[in-house]
Amino acid sequence: MGPIAAHAETQWQKNHPARTHVNKRLANQNRRISAGVRDGQLTHAQAHALRADDHAIRQQERADARADHNHGHLTGAQARSLNQEENANSAAIHADRH
Protein backbone atom coordinates (compact mmCIF):
# COMPACT_ATOMS: atom_id res chain seq x y z
CA MET A 1 0.00 0.00 0.00
CA GLY A 2 1.43 3.39 -0.99
CA PRO A 3 1.77 6.39 1.32
CA ILE A 4 -1.37 8.04 -0.03
CA ALA A 5 -3.51 4.95 0.40
CA ALA A 6 -2.21 4.46 3.92
CA HIS A 7 -3.60 7.84 4.95
CA ALA A 8 -6.84 7.73 2.96
CA GLU A 9 -9.83 7.77 5.27
CA THR A 10 -12.87 5.59 4.85
CA GLN A 11 -16.31 7.14 5.12
CA TRP A 12 -16.75 5.43 8.51
CA GLN A 13 -13.54 6.99 9.78
CA LYS A 14 -14.61 10.46 8.62
CA ASN A 15 -18.01 9.99 10.27
CA HIS A 16 -16.80 8.40 13.50
CA PRO A 17 -19.08 9.67 16.32
CA ALA A 18 -16.34 11.53 18.22
CA ARG A 19 -15.13 13.24 15.04
CA THR A 20 -18.69 14.07 13.99
CA HIS A 21 -19.35 15.67 17.39
CA VAL A 22 -16.20 17.81 17.19
CA ASN A 23 -16.91 18.91 13.63
CA LYS A 24 -20.59 19.71 14.29
CA ARG A 25 -19.54 21.95 17.19
CA LEU A 26 -17.00 23.70 14.98
CA ALA A 27 -19.66 24.27 12.29
CA ASN A 28 -22.03 25.68 14.92
CA GLN A 29 -19.32 27.99 16.25
CA ASN A 30 -18.64 29.20 12.71
CA ARG A 31 -22.36 30.03 12.32
CA ARG A 32 -22.25 31.95 15.62
CA ILE A 33 -19.21 33.91 14.44
CA SER A 34 -20.90 34.74 11.12
CA ALA A 35 -24.05 35.83 12.94
CA GLY A 36 -21.95 38.04 15.21
CA VAL A 37 -20.39 39.78 12.22
CA ARG A 38 -23.79 40.21 10.53
CA ASP A 39 -25.30 41.65 13.72
CA GLY A 40 -22.37 43.99 14.25
CA GLN A 41 -21.44 42.28 17.53
CA LEU A 42 -18.08 41.13 16.17
CA THR A 43 -15.54 43.00 14.10
CA HIS A 44 -13.95 41.28 11.13
CA ALA A 45 -10.69 41.13 13.10
CA GLN A 46 -12.42 39.37 16.02
CA ALA A 47 -14.11 36.95 13.62
CA HIS A 48 -10.79 36.21 11.94
CA ALA A 49 -9.13 35.45 15.29
CA LEU A 50 -12.00 33.22 16.43
CA ARG A 51 -12.02 31.35 13.12
CA ALA A 52 -8.25 30.88 13.38
CA ASP A 53 -8.80 29.23 16.78
CA ASP A 54 -11.47 26.97 15.27
CA HIS A 55 -9.16 26.14 12.36
CA ALA A 56 -6.43 25.08 14.80
CA ILE A 57 -8.92 22.81 16.59
CA ARG A 58 -10.01 21.25 13.27
CA GLN A 59 -6.37 20.70 12.27
CA GLN A 60 -5.69 19.00 15.62
CA GLU A 61 -8.77 16.80 15.18
CA ARG A 62 -7.54 15.68 11.77
CA ALA A 63 -4.00 15.08 13.00
CA ASP A 64 -5.24 13.07 15.98
CA ALA A 65 -7.51 10.94 13.79
CA ARG A 66 -4.78 10.33 11.22
CA ALA A 67 -2.25 9.12 13.76
CA ASP A 68 -1.32 5.57 12.75
CA HIS A 69 -2.34 4.07 16.10
CA ASN A 70 -5.84 5.65 16.00
CA HIS A 71 -7.08 3.99 12.82
CA GLY A 72 -9.01 7.08 11.77
CA HIS A 73 -10.85 7.88 14.98
CA LEU A 74 -10.29 9.86 18.16
CA THR A 75 -9.44 8.36 21.51
CA GLY A 76 -11.52 9.40 24.50
CA ALA A 77 -8.68 11.55 25.80
CA GLN A 78 -8.30 13.29 22.43
CA ALA A 79 -12.04 13.94 22.19
CA ARG A 80 -12.06 15.40 25.72
CA SER A 81 -9.10 17.63 24.94
CA LEU A 82 -10.73 18.92 21.75
CA ASN A 83 -13.98 19.46 23.64
CA GLN A 84 -12.15 21.61 26.21
CA GLU A 85 -10.60 23.66 23.41
CA GLU A 86 -14.03 24.09 21.81
CA ASN A 87 -15.49 25.14 25.18
CA ALA A 88 -12.82 27.82 25.53
CA ASN A 89 -13.43 29.13 22.01
CA SER A 90 -17.20 29.04 22.54
CA ALA A 91 -16.76 31.15 25.67
CA ALA A 92 -14.58 33.58 23.70
CA ILE A 93 -17.27 33.87 21.01
CA HIS A 94 -19.87 34.58 23.69
CA ALA A 95 -17.68 37.16 25.43
CA ASP A 96 -16.82 38.94 22.19
CA ARG A 97 -20.46 39.07 21.11
CA HIS A 98 -21.70 40.56 24.40
pTM value?
0.80
How far apart CA 5 and CA 83 sit, in angstroms, is: 29
Condensed to tens digits (0 to 9), the pLDDT of residues 40-85 reads: 999 999 999 999 999 999 999 999 988 867 778 888 999 999 999 9
% of the chain surpassing 70 pLDDT: 84
Give the count of beta carbons closer than 10 Å to the beta carbon of residue 71. Answer: 12
Alpha helices in the chain (DSSP H): 3-7, 11-14, 17-38, 44-66, 76-97
How far apart CA 11 and CA 24 sit, in angstroms, is: 16
State the average pLDDT for the chain: 87
